[in-house]
């Protein structure tokens, strides 16, 4: 990794951590796109997991009083189940499939809420969401919009949503790192030095985003989240089509 790419990497980590600190997602989508430009898909997943683990961990700590731990425990069981299934099928990602999977995600945020009767407070719903979101996190790197579906009918405010999602993502990205450990070990010591150097910037970006979050209303929070995810998703989808036809 050259010095220029290293500087760009650290800058992207800060910006994306700030974005996720505000909306609880979206930042991870942008970060993964950048990583896919400079690493093979498996390695990008591992590095993405390390940075997202740092960013989500700090966000979960800042909002720890709002975490709904029962939901986290149930979804963790689901994530572990999904990881086991993907291991059985020897799943291996590539940039095109990852881009297309992420590109289809905005469909989820535009579907009418009345179509879903999901409530993360219900045991079966939380468990199923853990399986689906865990599988998507490992297969495509991110799953924020899918996790959101579980909170559609819950009576949680924006702080509880962001805090609980952050803790769930800590679990999911930890398992993702283990899943792609072989790819991670292929990185050089110099590359890992830059990645570890970027970790504090992820925490700083999260702190900055958390301050912005406190100033948003619940209505603005949901509206901005929808449009940001849509724009990013369209870009990913077009990129996936390009990679398939190249």
pLDDT of residue 210 exceeding 80: no
pLDDT of residue 109 exceeding 70: no
Residue pLDDT, tens place only, 155-169? 777 788 888 888 998
Is 147 within 8 Å of 129 (Cβ atoms)?
yes
pLDDT of residue 25 exceeding 70: no
Average pLDDT of the segment spanning 216-235? 75
Structure tokens at 93: 């990602």
pLDDT of residue 81 exceeding 80: yes
pTM (predicted TM-score):
0.78
Residues shown for the chain:
246
pLDDT of residue 76 exceeding 70: yes
Who has greater pLDDT, 178 or 114?
Answer: 178
Place of tokens 């572990």: 80
pLDDT at 153: 64
Exposure letters 89-108 (e unless 16+ CB within 10 A, then b): eeeebebbbbbbbbbebbeb
Average pLDDT of the segment spanning 43-52? 86
Average pLDDT of the segment spanning 183-197? 80
Please tell me which of 198-207, 216-225, 234-243 the model is most confident about, judged by mean pLDDT: 234-243
pLDDT of residue 181 exceeding 80: yes
């Amino acid at each position: 990794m050259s010095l220029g790419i290293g500087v760009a990497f650290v800058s992207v980590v800060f910006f994306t951590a700030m974005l996720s600190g505000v909306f609880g997602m979206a930042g991870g989508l942008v970060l993964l796109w950048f990583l896919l430009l400079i690493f093979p898909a498996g390695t990008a997943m591992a590095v993405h997991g390390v940075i997202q683990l740092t960013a989500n961990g700090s966000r979960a700590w800042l909002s720890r009083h709002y975490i709904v731990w029962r939901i986290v425990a149930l979804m963790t069981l689901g994530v572990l189940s999904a990881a086991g299934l993907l291991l059985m099928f020897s799943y291996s990602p590539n940039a095109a499939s990852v881009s297309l999977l992420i590109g289809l995600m905005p469909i989820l945020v535009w579907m009418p809420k009345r179509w879903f009767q999901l409530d993360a407070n219900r045991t079966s719903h939380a468990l199923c969401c853990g399986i689906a979101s865990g599988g998507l996190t490992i297969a495509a790197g991110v799953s924020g919009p899918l996790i959101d579906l579980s909170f559609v009918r819950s009576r949680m405010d924006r702080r509880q949503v962001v805090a609980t999602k952050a803790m769930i993502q800590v679990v999911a990205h930890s398992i993702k790192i283990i899943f792609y450990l072989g790819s991670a070990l292929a990185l050089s010591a110099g590359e890992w030095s830059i990645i570890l150097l970027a970790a504090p910037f992820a925490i700083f970006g999260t702190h900055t985003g958390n301050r912005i979050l406190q100033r948003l209303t619940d209505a603005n929070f949901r509206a901005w989240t929808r449009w940001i995810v849509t724009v990013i998703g369209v870009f990913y989808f077009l990129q996936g089509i390009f990679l398939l036809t190249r």
